[in-house]
Amino acid sequence: MSERQPVIRLRSLLEKPLQKMGVIPVDRAAFPAFLGIGAQKSGTTWLHENLSRHPSVFLPETKELHYFDWNFHRPLAEYLAHFKMAGDRLRGEITPGYATIDDRRVHWIRSIAPDLRIILLLRDPVQRAWSQAVMNMVEIAGVPADRIPEEAFLEHLAQPRVRLRNDYVGIIDRWSGAFGEDRLHVGFFEDVVDRPVELLQGILAFLGLDVLDDAVFDRAGERIRPGVGTPMPDRIREFLVGENAVGLRRLHERYGSPVNDWLSRYGLADS
What average pLDDT does the segment 205-234 reach?
Answer: 79
Cross-strand partners of 90: 57
228-237 as b/e: b if 16+ CB within 10 A: eebebeeebb
The mean pLDDT of the chain is 92
Question: Tens digit of pLDDT for each residue in 1-23?
Answer: 454 678 888 889 899 999 999 99
Residue 115: strand, helix, or coil: coil
Q: 2-265 belongs to which homologous superfamily?
A: P-loop containing nucleotide triphosphate hydrolases (3.40.50.300)
Tell me phi and psi for residue 124, to 5 degrees: -40, 115
Which of 262, 264, 271 lies closest to 127 in space, CA to CA? 262
Q: Considering the entire predicted model, what is its pTM?
A: 0.93
25 in Cβ contact with 16 (< 8 Å): no
53 in Cβ contact with 216 (< 8 Å): yes
Q: Residue 229: pLDDT above 90?
A: no
Q: Tell me the pairing of strands 117-122 and 57-58.
A: unpaired
pLDDT (0 to 100) of residue 1 = 45
Q: Cα–Cα distances in Å, from 217 out to 7, 54, 97, 143, 209?
A: 45, 8, 26, 35, 14
Residue 200: strand, helix, or coil: helix
Tell me phi and psi for residue 252, to 5 degrees: -65, -35
Q: Residue 219: pLDDT above 80?
A: no
Separation of first and last alpha carbons in the chain:
58
Question: Tens digit of pLDDT for each residue in 173-210?
Answer: 999 999 999 999 999 999 999 999 999 999 999 999 98
pLDDT (0 to 100) of residue 82 = 97
24-63 as b/e: b if 16+ CB within 10 A: eebeeeebbbbbbbbbbbbbbbbbbbbbeebeebbbbeeb
- Greatest Cα pair distance, the chain, in angstroms, is 60
One-letter amino acid at 244 equals: N
- The residues near 232 (Cβ < 8 Å, ≥ 6 apart) are 126, 127, 130, 240
